[in-house]
Structure 1
């Protein structure tokens, strides 16, 4: 005679939820480590774009142009396979996701932009 063991339904749901949470966390960590180790042409262009956009929003147009001039080779590589309009849209979307400036008031927005403008990473693009 076999006996069926009943497991409470809530226990199964909790275990499944816990497994999904662990799997999601693991995949996020793996992706982060993987992406941090790579620096594609798109990433290089985005970093320069981010600094250029910050400079432009602060009225430093010369610094913005200088920043973008540092990645002309990478930009040319990207535009051979994708339209410049699409690349521009994607760069702007990524910037808006990383720095949702619309959420801030004018003083905070200026402080955030100034901090980014003065960062070591952006300063190397402005020189």
Structure 2
């Protein structure tokens, strides 16, 4: 057997799987890269909605820019996203309430305090043990 042919065969058997692995990893990274942008948009939207709920008065781009350490043009984009998702109206008022609040009782802090008090009362009940998570 020719030593050149043996070297060629060993090279092909080594380089082939490596090339396949590199191609698979590149395809996987491209697929993951396409998932990043929507996830980031969703995260920004979530943060902007939380901040908008805490702003007293109308939600404006300037108020968002001051509440978040971002430039006003980026705050304008966030405000547009909030309006597109119907979280904020054109006049800057909120359209959605947080989960747990209702039109009869919009005070979320009171609802959360009541839930915490109930959880503490249950934890103090005889025979009840709390597991650490």
- Relative to the length of structure 2, the TM-score reads 0.30
Structure number having the greater helix percentage = 1
Q: Which of the pair has the greater relative contact order for Cα pairs under 8 Å at 6+ separation?
A: 1
- Relative to the length of structure 1, the TM-score reads 0.31
Larger radius of gyration: 2
